[in-house]
Amino acid sequence: MNPLVELLLDGGSLSTAQMAQVLKLSEAELNSQLEALKKEGVLLGFRPVLNLSNEETGVVRAVIEVRITPERGGGFNRLAERISRFDEVESCYLMSGGYDLLVFVNGASLQRVAAFVSEKLSTIEGVLSTATHFMLRAYKEHGFMLGGKVVESERLKVSP
Amino acid sequence: MDQSRFIAKHVVNLPKSGIRDFFDIVAKMKDAISLGVGEPDFDTPWHIREAGIYALEKGKTHYTSNLGLLELRRAICKYVEKNFSASYVPENEVIITVGVSEGLDLACRALINPGDKVMYHQPCYVSYSPSITLAHGIPVPVPTFAKDNFALTVEALRAAWQPGCKVLMLNLPCNPTGGTCDRAQIEAIAKFAVEKDLIVLSDEIYSELTFEGVHTSIASLPGMKERVIFLHGFSKAFAMTGWRIGYACGPAALIEAMMKVHQYSMLCASIISQEAAIEALVRGEDGMKKMRDQYHRRRDFIVRRFNEIGLKCHLPRGSFYAFPDVSMTGMNEKDFAISLLQTEKVAIVPGTAFGENGRGFCRACFATSYEQLVEAATRIERHVAAVAGKK
Ligand SMILES: Cc1ncc(COP(=O)(O)O)c(C=O)c1O
């Protein structure tokens, strides 16, 4: 693996200056490598993982199971991409099993999300059915536990 | 009343651990970055912890047999055969211990007659010499050197050998140096052990954390199984230090002797930890390798930084310790470690805590987050520049 990609995965929240130290690069070199990764379409961006309540963010999230008709030549791709382009859609995956697409959406309110499903999503030619599940509470997000306080693990400062 | 007169002489004479002294200083320091620890920064992988919880739920709250759960001993034999190429019989050639610590103690007490001499390479884990003394043996340290990347050489063994030596203790890869021996060197050590008729205690607790080449266990060499007690555990590779669980494998007669001591002193290791250990062996390999890969990258970083800073540091082939030479600062290892702690709030352990042969060196544990390591390196660099400038 590209050492920078490896470090991005492993090094968590290092600053660019710190990443440069680890990889023995100047900060300028590091930035140009980051740029290169973006150009190649490998690095798409950074997002913080926040632990905020729904009231604070004012966001309602839902998962929608979508069944669609595959097309000759394109399979599921054209429709999947079309659905993915909506701003409301956070992520979209092609799945095996009882439905075809799993779509994660968010909206400012329950009504907005419901409207998105009934007016946009299900009216698309080729969408056969949708089943919408609203998320009530998050327990783990992108590898981080959300509940409760952060407890420092109590490692002794010096041990043999 | 002066109670000290009641204390056994060989205990009075045990030196206080250099680690403890240092711990007392660091404990008073708020928000220091500590590279002074001897354990993984990872908590035990969740599936292993969950196995412990499950064991409790199922009412596994009783004693086990003295040797430990047979299912665990079977899993150990499979694991040791696969990873160390040494085969043992679960029924009578394995004993589950309370960490490698107890394994070491059992072996010393089972093997050593008062006055028997025990060779061990030094710098070494802090318990080695005291364990020998507590069993009324005589410690015979064998130096290892930076020029050999702290591998144990037969020349050093030969030079240190004296009549009356009965036991040879090995710890490869080594705490605190990270040094280890390649196959040829282990073969030479094995030959020496046969020539001098030594029984070998091989503490291979860091063997999974070998970053270059393959780890060779002395127990796997032809003809050696009969004179080796293989000590291993879960603390380092599986990040299970607090579970206090380990094991010893060896010839049935020796395991039986260790079992005698164990049954009258410890009875058995915690059943909860034994259950969790089964999970670690059966399903823990992927998680263990992930941790090892992270240590590997952190090692490459911190060793490179020490050398850039001017603190000469060999590349430790195993363990999670770097062992830089701090003598260029013009300070001894203790003064350097204390001044680093006081001015830059970074804790490393003076090499002499691990024996006289650690003079001039310090141990820095790199089992910690990148953020901390990068910051620690920056602070060490600043401190070295400041003190070396004054020299
Ligand atoms: C070389 C060595 N042996 C044994 C131990 C003790 O291990 P355990 O936790 O299995 O008792 C340690 C712990 O630091 C060690 O470094």
Q: End of a domain among B242, B264, B283?
A: B283
CATH of the domain at B53: 3.40.640.10
Reported as a pLDDT band with limits 50, 70 and 90, residue A51 is confident
Residues B210 and B242 in one domain: yes
Between B300 and A142, the higher pLDDT residue: B300
Q: Which residues line ligand 1 (CB under 6 A)?
A: A 160; B 38, 99-101, 125, 171, 175, 203, 205, 233, 235, 241, 246
Quickly list DSSP for B331-362: S-HHHHHHHHHHHH-EE-EEGGGG-GGGTTBE
Q: Which residue of A has its CA nearest to B31?
A: A157
Contact B17 A13 (CB under 8 A): no
Residues B200 and B92 in one domain: yes
Residues B173 and B235 in one domain: yes
Inform me whether the pLDDT recorded for B369 exceeds 80: yes
Beta bridge partners of A104: A63, A91
Quickly list DSSP for B90-127: TTTSEEEESHHHHHHHHHHHHHPPTT-EEEEEES--TT
Residues B62 and B176 in one domain: yes
Please give the pLDDT value at position B255: 98
CATH of the domain at B16: 3.90.1150.10
pLDDT in tens, B120-159: 999 999 999 999 999 999 999 999 999 999 999 999 999 9
Q: B360, B327 in Cβ contact below 8 A? A: yes
Containing H/E element for B169?
Answer: strand B165-171
Q: Where are the domains of chain A?
A: 3-39, 52-139
Read off the pLDDT of each residue in A77-98 and give the average, rounded to a whole number: 95
Give the architecture-level CATH label for domain A52-139. Answer: 2-Layer Sandwich (3.30)
Percent of chain B, pLDDT > 90?
A: 93
> If you measure from the C-alpha of residue B242 to the centroid of ligand 1, how many angstroms do you get, rounded to a whole number?
11
What's the pTM?
Answer: 0.91
Q: Which residue of B has its CA nearest to A4?
A: B297
Beta bridge partners of B121: B142
Q: End of a domain among B266, B283, B300?
A: B283
Q: A60, A108 in Cβ contact below 8 A? A: yes
Please give the pLDDT value at position A148: 67
Residues of B in contact with A155 (CB under 8 A): 37, 39, 41
Residues B152 and B297 in one domain: no
Whats the size of chain A, residue-wise? 160
**CA distances for A79 relative to A72, A75, A85, A102, B19, angstroms:** 12, 9, 10, 13, 64
Range of the domain at B337: 3-44+286-390
Q: Please tell me the total count of domains within chain B.
A: 2
Inform me whether the pLDDT recorded for B224 exceeds 70: yes
Please give the pLDDT value at position B211: 96
Please give the pLDDT value at position A13: 79
Nearest atom of ligand 1 to the alpha carbon of B125: 1
Contact A156 B23 (CB under 8 A): yes
Residues B179 and B312 in one domain: no
Give dist(CA B177, CA B3) in Å, integer: 39
Residues B206 and B62 in one domain: yes
Residues of B in contact with A21 (CB under 8 A): 301, 305, 374, 377-378
Residues B328 and B207 in one domain: no
ipTM over 0.95: no
Q: Which residue of A has its CA nearest to B374?
A: A18
Residues B123 and B183 in one domain: yes
Residues B8 and B118 in one domain: no
Residues B140 and B33 in one domain: no
Please give the pLDDT value at position A152: 67
Inform me whether the pLDDT recorded for B23 exceeds 90: no
Residues B93 and B201 in one domain: yes
Picking from B374, B375, B381 by the largest number of A CB atoms within 10 A of its own CB, the best residue to mutate is B374
